[in-house]
């Protein structure tokens, strides 16, 4: 393992600890992934973040051998939408999935987050959509998430939680926090009266301004050397991934069971 990969694995662990410390996730309910060349590094299933070591982070190929993984631990049960988002969205370098309280409450009610504050532009558009419910870890959930993320950097998952993306871990974590803040502001505003929604043209203007706002992404790491023998994640079949791009868009400002 290169020093670069070692550092990225450690950054994934620090991101997990940070999202719990910030109160946008709890226990092992969320999950985190990062792109490393032609590989996705993702948190393992069911391991407390405080106990994680860099060697515990699971590597999964992005280009072929769908569902295969390397390491002694199985990947997060949500590996499928992490893998599919990275395959469809080459600009995405990291994904943070949380069960933050206010955003998840809105997702439970099936409410998207409207443009009640200009910071919604951080997610790439005038709304943060809600993906229809599907059982965690399924192909259906992955398809629903990709559709909700079209033209966006974040989405809600009905009766589930939040997906936030970014060019790197810092940006994805930042956006996950902003989604929760927006959801909390909207819920509180509704308790006071009828929130005023900003026009789409205003959000489009702010989206342009945000292209140079917030933490900058780090340079993408080099592709890793060929890795050892792979296992296969639960629910996957040996197959070659079909190329395609279900949705385009840019990340914005910056779990189910793992």
Mean pLDDT of 12-28: 95
Residue 213 confidence (pLDDT)? 62
Q: What pTM was estimated for this model as a whole?
A: 0.83
Mean pLDDT of 32-56: 95
Residue 122 confidence (pLDDT)? 95
Cα–Cα distances in Å, from 89 out to 120, 130, 205?
A: 20, 19, 23
Phi-psi region of 96 (alpha: psi -120 to 50; beta: other; left: phi over 0): beta
> Sorting pLDDT into bands at 50, 70 and 90, what band is 28?
confident
Mean pLDDT of 188-214: 91
Mean pLDDT of 238-250: 38
> Sorting pLDDT into bands at 50, 70 and 90, what band is 251?
very low
5-19, 87-101, 226-240: lowest mean pLDDT where? 226-240
DSSP per residue, 24-90: S--TT--EEEEEETTEEEEPBTT--GGG--GGGSEEEESSSSTTEEBSSSPBPTTHHHHHHHHHH-T
Altogether, the residues listed in the chain come to a count of 258
Mean pLDDT of 112-138: 97
Cα-to-chain-centroid distance, residue 132: 17
Residue 233 confidence (pLDDT)? 75
Cα–Cα distances in Å, from 222 out to 26, 59, 70, 228?
A: 32, 15, 18, 18
> Sorting pLDDT into bands at 50, 70 and 90, what band is 223?
very low
Looking at the chain, the whole-number percentage of residues with pLDDT higher than 70 is: 83
Residue 257 confidence (pLDDT)? 46
Residue 63 confidence (pLDDT)? 85
Phi-psi region of 244 (alpha: psi -120 to 50; beta: other; left: phi over 0): left
Of 78, 140, 178, 200, the active-site residue reads 78
Q: Which domains does the chain have, with CATH numbers?
A: 3-232 (3.40.225.10)
Mean pLDDT of 6-12: 97
Mean pLDDT of 176-193: 98
Average per-residue pLDDT for the chain: 87
Catalytic site includes residue 5 = no
Mean pLDDT of 215-219: 47
Residue 211 confidence (pLDDT)? 78
Hey, CA dihedral for 36, 42, 47, 49, is it positive or negative? Answer: positive
Residue 237 confidence (pLDDT)? 56
């Amino acid at each position: 393992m290169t020093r670069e990969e070692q550092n990225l694995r450690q950054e994934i662990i620090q991101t997990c600890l940070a999202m719990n410390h910030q109160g946008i996730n709890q226990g092992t309910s969320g999950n985190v992934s990062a792109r490393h060349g032609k590989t996705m590094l993702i948190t393992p299933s069911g391991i407390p973040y405080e106990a994680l070591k860099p060697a515990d982070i699971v590597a999964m190929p992005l280009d072929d051998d769908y569902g295969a993984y390397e390491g002694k631990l199985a990947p997060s049960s949500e590996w499928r939408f992490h893998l599919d988002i990275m395959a469809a969205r080459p600009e995405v370098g990291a994904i943070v999935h949380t069960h933050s309280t206010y955003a998840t409450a809105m997702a439970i009610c099936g409410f998207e987050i409207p443009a009640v504050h200009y910071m919604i532009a951080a997610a790439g558009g005038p709304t943060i959509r809600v993906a229809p419910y599907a059982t965690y870890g399924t192909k259906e959930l992955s398809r629903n998430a990709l559709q909700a993320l079209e033209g966006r950097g974040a989405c809600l998952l009905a009766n589930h939680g939040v997906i936030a993306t970014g060019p790197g871990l810092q940006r994805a974590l930042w956006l996950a926090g902003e989604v929760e803040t927006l959801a909390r502001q909207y819920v509180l505003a509704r308790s006071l009266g009828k929130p005023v929604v900003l026009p789409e043209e205003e959000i489009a203007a702010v989206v342009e301004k945000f292209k140079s706002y917030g933490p900058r992404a780090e340079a993408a790491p080099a592709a890793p050397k060929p890795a050892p023998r792979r296992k296969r994640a639960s629910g996957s079949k040996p197959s070659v991934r079909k190329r395609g791009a279900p949705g385009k868009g840019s990340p914005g400002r910056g779990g189910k069971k793992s």
